[in-house]
């Protein structure tokens, strides 16, 4: 929702918008339609937080954060930039701090590596492949890489298969050695 538009509303219009968000949240909860549907409860909480109504904001955020803790924190990433102040307050207040903290850790991460050309091959390692390769070079297991990048182990294996092909390597050790030889790491 456009927070700038809400900032220009009078109290009655704002109360109506908050009521409509509460109704949307109720329907979302009833239908259990969480993915790709927006998060009206968190949106309502963010507005309340912006107004300085902190207790109400935390109460409004709690149901959505409980669902995120149950089905995966990734649902919080959709509109996360506009929710960061609220999410930081939730962590400070201990409200689903572990779940919300994991989302903030993703958002606070510096931008990752960019895609790089593999010299002499016509191949390019995607930015995600470069990230996976860097983690391999640090000695992380597939499970550890998956956890660090918030992806599945199957996805890590897919990236490794492509990395091996692009670097003409048959093992993790060979891939790292080849990447260092080509100054990709």
| Tens-place pLDDT, residues 110-169 | 777 788 999 999 999 999 999 999 999 999 999 999 888 888 899 999 999 999 999 999
Would you state the structure tokens that stand for residue 159, as one six-digit string? 């990236």
Q: Which helix (H) or strand (E) holds 113?
A: none
pLDDT at position 29 over 60: yes
- What's the start-to-end Cα distance of the chain, in Å? 41
pLDDT of amino acid 2: 44
Q: Considering only CA atoms, give the Rg of the chain.
A: 21
Report the chain's mean pLDDT, rounded to a whole number: 85
pLDDT of amino acid 1: 44
> What does the DSSP 8-state code read for residue 39?
-
Please say whether the beta carbons of 63 and 29 come within 8 A: yes
User: Residue 45: CB partners within 8 Å, gap ≥ 6?
Assistant: 57, 58, 60, 61, 64, 83, 86
The gap from C-alpha 62 to its chain's centroid, in whole angstroms, comes to 18
Set out the domains of the chain in order of their start, with CATH numbers.
3-108 (no CATH), 116-181 (1.10.10.10)
């Amino acid at each position: 929702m456009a927070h700038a538009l809400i900032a220009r509303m009078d109290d009655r219009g704002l109360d109506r918008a908050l009521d409509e968000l509460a109704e949307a949240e109720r329907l979302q909860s009833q239908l259990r339609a969480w993915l790709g549907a927006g998060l009206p409860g968190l949106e309502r909480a963010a507005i309340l937080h912006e107004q300085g109504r902190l207790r109400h904001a935390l109460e409004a955020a709690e149901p959505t954060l409980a669902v995120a803790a149950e089905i995966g924190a990734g649902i919080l990433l959709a509109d996360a930039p506009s929710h960061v102040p609220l999410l930081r307050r939730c962590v400070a207040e201990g409200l689903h701090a572990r779940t919300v903290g994991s989302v903030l850790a993703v958002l606070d991460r510096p931008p990752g590596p960019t895609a790089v050309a593999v010299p002499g091959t016509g191949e390019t390692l995607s930015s995600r492949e470069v990230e996976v390769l860097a983690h391999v070079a640090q000695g992380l297991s597939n499970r550890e890489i998956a956890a660090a990048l918030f992806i599945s182990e199957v996805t890590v294996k897919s990236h490794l298969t492509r990395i091996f092909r692009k670097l003409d390597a048959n093992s993790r050790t060979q891939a790292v050695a080849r990447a260092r030889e080509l100054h990709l790491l």
